[in-house]
Amino acid sequence: MSVVYAVAQSNNGRVANTCNLSEDWVGYSTRYGDSVGDFSPLSCFTVTEVKQIGRVLGLPEKFIEKPPIDGLCGKTDEDNLGFTYAALDKYIREGIEPPAEIKTKIDTMHKNNLFKLKFMPCFAYDANK
């Protein structure tokens, strides 16, 4: 990200956080990596919704339906997560629960990764004390 920010600064640009709601929900993002940016155009949209936006914009289907992959281990995001984004998105948006084992996994991941979505804790100075 240091390089990305250096390039952005050199070109009077800004860095986009490319995470979406589905990834953020289960913490499938890298702190100070893909979750960093000056603006976050997709953070309130699920993967399903991002795909719909791609279709409305007329993007080629090969990009819209390309399996998401972190580029590190050779497995897709869904292989690593153990569930599909479609199931996760239905759970997030519609409350449709996946099988109990997957629901437990999603709920645990969500709870364990909420810290990634909060501001960094800091010392709260009180001048009156």
List pLDDT tens digits, range 78-115.
999 999 999 999 999 999 999 999 999 999 999 999 99
Percent of the chain scoring above 90 in pLDDT: 74
- Which pLDDT value is given to residue 73? 85
What sign for the dihedral angle of Cα 58, 15, 92, 79? positive
CA atoms of 38 and 15, how far apart (whole Å): 5
CA atoms of 4 and 35, how far apart (whole Å): 13
Domains of the chain listed by start with CATH number? 2-117 (3.40.50.620)
Is pLDDT larger for residue 27 or for residue 129?
27
Confidence of residue 118 (pLDDT cuts 50, 70, 90): confident
What's the token pair of residue 94?
């519609």
Q: Record the pTM.
A: 0.85
CA atoms of 108 and 61, how far apart (whole Å): 33
CA atoms of 24 and 43, how far apart (whole Å): 8
Whether the Cβ atoms of residue 112 and residue 49 lie closer than 8 Å to each other: no
